[in-house]
A and B are shown apart, each in its own frame.
Chain A
Amino acid sequence: MIVEKCAILGNQSLAPNIGLIRLESRCIAPLVAAGQFVHVQIPAAGELMLRRPFSVYEIDDSRTQLSIVYQVVGRGSKHIQELKVGEELNLLGPCGQGWRLPDVHQTQAGGRVLLVGGGIGTAALQLLAAQLATLGYGIDFVVGAATARLLVFNTGLEVLVPGLKLHVCTDDGSAGHRGLTTDLAEALLSHGSYEWLASCGPEPMLAALASLAKKKRLAHQVSLEARMACGVGACLGCVVPTLDGQRRVCADGPVFDAEAVVW
């Protein structure tokens, strides 16, 4: 985990209140593992003293750039939305423990894995999908959003990642299946056979998937979100109850075994 001032290479709007920011990062980008996050200082806003955690969404082929996806929910993310190319962001990272990939020797060759992303949480699964594909897994990727306009960052994923099948759902039916990601996931789980499940999104979605996976005895990892201060594991601001006591989302997570979390 290091500190880096990163030049902004692009800051584009993907949908109302959702944006993607691309950063030059020669120090942090080479160190990032899928599922880790960067802790971002809000610039030119002295009254906002806490950093904000963002999953690393993409890393370029040369591993000198990384991007994050943000949703404008408050003053901090509003500042990020207004940043221009050439300005800088101070990043602390890579933070936390990323996805622990399934062991290719323990799982069936060419087996399938299921990824479920709800809303902005989908961003945490992007790097993972690419990595699972290179390990030879077939991937069913369930992506959900409130409405079609907010289904932003997984278009084209089927083209980019070989062996990946996208399953789209929206709350209002404006794209794909009308309903929840958990409905789609349940249908897939009842028809197919999976080696592994990974999910990131709203907590009720994660909890529902956790109980589904438990019934199926399917290994399941979740990436959790929390209000955070230090980002390094010192302040105990972001803990989550687990069977092993309070665990720190920033340092012990953000990826946890779903079974270990007390939902």
Chain B
Amino acid sequence: MVSKAKRDVLSSASDGAKNAACNSAPDGAPRRAPDGAPRSVSQSDAAGSQTVDMRVSLAGIELANPLTVASGTFASGREYADVWHRIAQNEPGLIRNRRFPGLDCMGALTTKAVSLAPWSGNATPRIAETASGMLNSIGLQNPGVEAFCERDLAWLATQNVPVIVNIAGHSLDEYVAVIDRLERESVPSAYELNISCPNVDAGGMAFGTDAHLAAELVGRCRRATTRPLIVKLTPNVGSIADIAKAVRFAGADALSLINTVLGMSIDARARRTILARGFGGLSGPAIKPIALYKVYECHEAVDLPLIGMGGVSSATDVVEFMLAGASVVAIGSANFSDSLALPRILDDLEDYCKEQGIHEVKSLVGALR
């Protein structure tokens, strides 16, 4: 199924590219479609004029649709905004969605993790491809919260998209200090506490594998803000439901799951691990069944909205996560193979709803038969 989903993505990309004449004017300057809108015939026209209410809400935030990105796969959005903009100028037929090309087509943007001081991350290689997936050991490289506010949040303020800021720390105090600084900014709609990164030595996943520690951290952060607190959980635990219950009790407003699955990759000839750090976090279609089950498990265990993620690369993947109980679904490593993953999946999700006669996408949440 995984490779089928992948083929679907590829084939839709190919259809789009065929429609899209490369619209460079003779002088080399790109030219927009006359009305500035995508030019290809929308398949949705065939499905009738029925509109789908794509809105969902998450811990009190209203989102235009259920799609976001997994922290760390999209930076603060600037790089992809640039790629989307160029594609829209040169190949307007590649994407049907009328909201394209801005970041405002996203339900929410989840930033890369930000810590109190700058973190330089791990040694390279930090990336290893595996069967239907990839390992990473980036190590939360980031410029620190001050630079993040100056550079990234200032830019995000000009983009019309709800922003979820992912937060990391080596200690409880560091998490709280990052929140204190972010409280002075108007851009963040919510915070996502990263207590599940497998790639840092102190903090990170250590907070997410111990229910007491996780609850203590969430309690401290809870007292530091009235903004929605999303807690991102790791699958690398005995019972994710126990952690979910603990952080719910401590004041979490929503859960994000799953972070990456611990894994390793070895070069048989060199007899060395491929990642410099030795191990890292597995993501991609390979982990989707694990992620779906963890979402289902937490949906059964706690009464909190969930952001589901893990190997999402198609609209049907999104629907599966929603049926398992996710209100919002994040696209992660699929962004790497397909820069247009999110807008494309959004189009396909809308088509799915029309085909299925679904008027409100939120009706899918937890709607397993």
Report whether chain A binds chain B: yes
Chain A residues near B (Cβ < 8 Å): 1-5, 26-27, 30, 41, 43, 46-51, 76, 88, 90, 92, 226-240, 245-246, 251
Give the residue of B82, B91, B127 whose beta carbon is less than 8 angstroms from that of A3: B91
Min distance, Cβ B283 to any Cβ of chain A, angstroms: 9
Q: Is B97 an interface residue (CB 8 A)?
A: no
* Least Cβ–Cβ distance between B304 and chain A, in angstroms: 29
Task: List A contacts of B99 (CB < 8 A).
Answer: none
Q: Report the minimal beta-carbon distance from A29 to chain B, rounded to whole angstroms.
A: 10
**A41–B9 Cα gap in the complex (Å)?**
12
> Could you tell me the distance in whole angstroms from the C-beta of B163 to the nearest C-beta in chain A?
16
Contacts of A234 in B (CB 8 A): 73-75, 79-80, 335
Q: In chain B, residues 1-60, which have Cβ atoms closer than 8 Å to a Cβ of chain A?
A: 2-7, 10, 13-14, 17-18, 22, 24, 28
Most chain A beta carbons < 10 A, residue from B22, B74, B125, B337: B337
Q: A2-B90, A3-B87, A30-B28 are in contact. Are A51 and B126 (CB under 8 A)?
A: no
Bound Cα distance from A231 to B28, whole angstroms: 24
B82: chain A residues within 8 A (beta carbon): 1, 232
Q: Which of A76, A235, A246 contacts B120 (CB 8 A)?
A: A246
Q: In the complex, A1 Cα to B22 Cα: how many Å?
A: 13
Taken together as a complex, chains A and B put the C-alpha atoms of A46 and B90 apart, in Å, by 27
Q: Which one of A41, A46, A90 contacts B2 once the chains associate, using CB atoms below 8 Å?
A: A46
In the bound complex, do residue B134 and residue A46 qualify as a contact, i.e. CB atoms below 8 Å apart? no
- In angstroms, Cα B29 to Cα A30, docked, is 11
Residues on A with C-beta less than 8 A from B251 are: none
Q: How far is the CA of A49 from the CA of B82 in the complex (A)?
A: 22
CB distance from B139 to the nearest CB of A (A): 9
Partner of B285, one of A49, A239, A251: A49
B128 within 8 A of partner (CB): yes
Taking Cβ atoms with an 8 Å cutoff, the residues of B that contact A are: 2-7, 10, 13-14, 17-18, 22, 24, 28, 72-75, 79-80, 82-83, 86-87, 90-91, 94, 112, 120-121, 124-129, 131-134, 136, 138, 141, 284-285, 333-337, 339-340
Q: Are B22 and A48 interface neighbours, CB within 8 A?
A: no
Q: How far is the CB of B125 from chain A (nearest CB, A)?
A: 5
User: What is the number of contacts between chain A and chain B, taking CB atoms within 8 Å?
Assistant: 134
Q: In the complex, what residue of chain A is closest to B129 when comparing beta carbons?
A: A50
CA distance A92 to B339 in the complex (A): 8
Q: Which residues of B contact A26 (CB under 8 A)?
A: 22, 24
Q: B residues within 8 A CB of A240?
A: 124
Question: When chains A and B are docked, how far (Å) is the Cα of A1 from the Cα of B73?
Answer: 18
Q: Closest A residue to B75 by CB, please name it.
A: A234
Q: 10 new A-B pairs (CB below 8 Å) besides A4-B91, A47-B2, A226-B125?
A: A3-B94, A4-B22, A43-B10, A46-B132, A47-B3, A232-B339, A234-B335, A235-B138, A236-B75, A238-B126
Query: Smallest distance from the beta carbon of A197 to chain B beta carbons, Å?
Result: 25
Determine if B87 and A2 form an interchain contact, defined as CB atoms under 8 angstroms apart.
Answer: yes
Q: Judging by beta carbons under 8 Å apart, are A49 and B339 in contact?
A: no
Q: Does the CB pair B128–A227 fall under 8 Å?
A: yes
- Taking CB atoms, residues of chain A closer than 8 Å to B7 are 46
Shortest Cβ gap from B347 to chain A (Å): 15
From A5, A237, A238, name the one whose CB has the most chain B CB atoms within 10 angstroms.
Answer: A237
Question: For A3, what are the chain B residues with a Cβ–Cβ distance below 8 Å?
Answer: 13, 17, 87, 91, 94, 339-340
Chain B residues within 8 Å of A239, by CB: 121, 124, 126, 141
Known: A49-B129, A49-B285. A233 touches B79 (CB 8 A): yes
- Contact partners of B340 in chain A: CB under 8 A: 3
Give 22 A-B contacts (CB < 8 Å), ordered by A residue. A2-B83, A2-B91, A3-B13, A3-B87, A4-B22, A5-B13, A5-B14, A26-B22, A30-B28, A47-B3, A47-B131, A49-B6, A50-B127, A88-B14, A90-B10, A227-B124, A229-B127, A229-B333, A233-B79, A238-B124, A246-B120, A246-B141
Give bound CA distance, A246 to B14, whole Å: 36
Q: Which residues of A contact B335 (CB under 8 A)?
A: 230, 234
Quick one: closest B residue to A25, CB to CB?
B22
Inter-chain contact A227/B141, CB cutoff 8 Å: no
A240 to B126 alpha-carbon distance, docked (Å): 11
Q: How far apart sit A3 and B284, CA to CA, in the bound complex (Å)? A: 21
Q: Which 6 A-B pairs have the closest CB atoms?
A: A46-B3, A46-B6, A27-B22, A5-B17, A237-B127, A234-B75
CA of A27 to CA of B28 in the docked complex: distance in angstroms? Answer: 10
**Closest B residue to A52 using CB positions:** B129
Q: Which residues of B contact A2 (CB under 8 A)?
A: 83, 86-87, 90-91
Are the C-beta atoms of A251 and B79 separated by less than 8 Å? Answer: yes
Taking the closest CB of chain A, its distance from the CB of B80, in whole angstroms, is 6
Give the complex CA separation of A48 and B336 in angstroms. Answer: 12
Chain A minimum-CB-distance residue to B118: A245
Contact A50 B134 (CB under 8 A): yes
- Please indicate the chain A residues that have their CB under 8 angstroms from the CB of B136 in the complex: 229, 235, 237
List residues of chain B with CB within 8 A of the CB of A49.
6, 129, 132-134, 284-285, 333-334, 336-337
Least CB separation from A1: chain B residue? B83
A27 to B18, CA, bound (A): 12
Contact A229 B134 (CB under 8 A): yes
Taking CB atoms, residues of chain B closer than 8 Å to A43 are 10
Tell me, in angstroms, the Cα distance from A4 to B94 when the chains sit together.
Answer: 9
A232-B83 in contact (CB<8A): yes
Query: In the complex, what distance in Å separates the CA atom of A214 from the CA atom of B14?
Result: 48
Contact of B336 with A50 in the complex, beta carbons under 8 Å: yes
Q: List chain A residues, Cβ under 8 A from B13.
A: 3, 5, 90
Minimum CB distance partner of A29 in chain B: B22
Residues from chain A with Cβ under 8 Å of B5 in the complex: 46
